[in-house]
């Protein structure tokens, strides 16, 4: 299957969805960006426009290319408008139940050849694929890192039934976006979060048990291992609720007590300290 990508759909206008939409736009595709929340959609459209404008001011793209890219953006709240998309990627809330409901709808509205992709950070692609009636071969994991326009990696996950053709077409699209692709089997957390989240969780244990201050834990990992952000700062950036939910997926899927989320991390989430998006997490952003 050689797919000539012309149009893609992105479901979810949050940070990940709008970042993926931006990638599609600046790489010549028509992009249908869907969110049921009109305000979220307006915010996404504004942030894409500002981000593309930044590319112009940095001299990365011309004014004409930026304007053409923005004209290829179609913001919508109607799934049916994605019926001609060659690939539809979802970047909605990390809930297996909600994603499955969406995949049932995507299966109904999309053309038979469309690839249905999930940007899930840890949920089983095989189980999401099983929600569809179409041959499950066209369902795949396409996991972008945050922020998608900047991070150089896309992790591609083949479910138990994903075909090699779907993998190759999805890989080609990620490469068109300028990304390096890694391929993971469909086990909880895939590659990146399988390794990253226990590190973040351990940083919370270090804080919880009084090993050091939050600043010293972060500085230790930033300067000691050359990470751009310390693990606690990164957890705030990702969202503490997202970190807890990924740890729970690891725990359920891999069955090892080492994946139990740190009580301090859980307590922050229970207290509504969700990280940067909320203005308060390990650090305050007010
Ligand atoms: N969209 C587009 N561009 C962005 C951006 C965004 N959301 N955020 C930052 N940028 C751009 C800025 O415009 C800037 O560009 P120039 O250098 O060309 O001017 C560049 O990125 C650097 O930004 P800043 O100067 O504002 O800040 P910084 O140097 O501190 O970099 C960062 C910000 C890129 C986020 C950096 O701190 C970083 O790499 N952090 C680690 C991020 C990371 O690990 N992400 C993966 C998380 S794990 C994950 O995503 C998987 C999961 O499932 C949870």
Residue 121 in contact with ligand 1 by CB distance below 6 A: yes
In the residue annotation, 121 being an active-site residue is answered as yes
Annotated active-site residue in 110, 184, 188, 193: 193
Q: Is 58 in the pocket of ligand 1 (CB under 6 A)?
A: yes
pLDDT on residue 135: 79
The response to whether 146 counts as a known ligand-binding position is: yes
List, in order of start, the domains of the chain with CATH numbers: 7-185 (3.40.50.720), 195-278 (1.10.1040.10)
CA pair distance 40, 38, nearest whole angstrom: 5
Q: Is 202 a catalytic residue?
A: no
Residue 70's pLDDT band, with cuts at 50, 70 and 90, is very high
Is the Cβ atom of 192 under 6 angstroms away from ligand 1?
A: yes
Token couple for 60: 């990365």
pLDDT digits (tens, 9 = 90+) for 47-62: 999 999 999 999 999 9
The band of 4, judged by pLDDT with boundaries at 50, 70 and 90, is: confident
Ligand 1 centroid distance, CA of 148 (Å): 9
pLDDT number for residue 258? 96
Q: What is the pLDDT of residue 128?
A: 95
The minimum-distance atom of ligand 1 relative to the CA of 239 is: 54
CA atoms within 13 A on the CB side of 210: 0
Test site for ligand 1: of 15, 148, 150, 242, most ligand atoms within 8 A of the Cβ? 150
Is residue 203 within 8 A of residue 230, CB to CB? The reply is yes
ipTM: 0.91
Question: Mean pLDDT, to the nearest integer, of 262-274?
Answer: 98
Nearest protein Cα to ligand 1, atom 27:
228
Active-site annotation holds for 62: no
Cα-based torsion angle of the residue sequence 144, 149, 152, 158 in order, rounded to the nearest 10 degrees: 20
Instruction: Go through the chain and tell me how many residues it has.
Output: 286
pTM: 0.95
């Amino acid at each position: 299957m050689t797919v000539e990508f012309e149009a893609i759909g992105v479901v979810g206008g949050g940070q990940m969805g709008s970042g993926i939409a931006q990638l599609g736009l600046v790489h010549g595709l028509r992009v249908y960006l869907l969110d049921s929340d009109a305000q979220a959609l307006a915010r996404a459209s504004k942030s894409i426009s500002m981000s593309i404008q930044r590319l112009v001011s940095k001299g990365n793209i011309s004014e004409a290319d930026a304007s053409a890219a923005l004209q290829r953006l179609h913001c919508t709240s109607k799934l049916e408008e994605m019926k001609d998309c060659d690939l539809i990627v979802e970047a909605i809330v990390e809930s297996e139940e909600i994603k499955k409901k969406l995949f049932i709808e995507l299966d109904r509205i999309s053309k038979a050849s469309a690839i249905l992709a999930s940007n899930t950070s840890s949920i089983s692609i095989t189980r999401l694929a099983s929600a569809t009636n179409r041959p499950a071969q066209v369902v795949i994991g396409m996991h972008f890192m945050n922020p998608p326009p900047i991070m150089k990696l896309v992790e591609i996950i083949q479910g138990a039934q994903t075909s090699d053709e779907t993998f190759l077409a999805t890989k080609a699209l990620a490469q068109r976006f300028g990304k390096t692709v890694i391929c993971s089997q469909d086990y909880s957390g895939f590659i990146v979060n399988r390794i990253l989240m226990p590190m973040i969780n351990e940083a919370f244990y270090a804080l919880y048990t009084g090993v050091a201050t939050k600043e010293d834990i972060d500085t230790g990992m930033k300067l000691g291992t050359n990470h751009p952000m310390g693990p606690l700062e990164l957890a705030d950036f990702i969202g503490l609720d997202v970190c807890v939910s990924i740890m729970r997926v690891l725990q359920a899927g891999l069955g090892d007590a080492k994946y139990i989320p740190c009580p301090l991390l859980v307590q922050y989430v229970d207290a509504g300290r969700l990280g940067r998006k909320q203005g308060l997490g390990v650090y305050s952003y007010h």
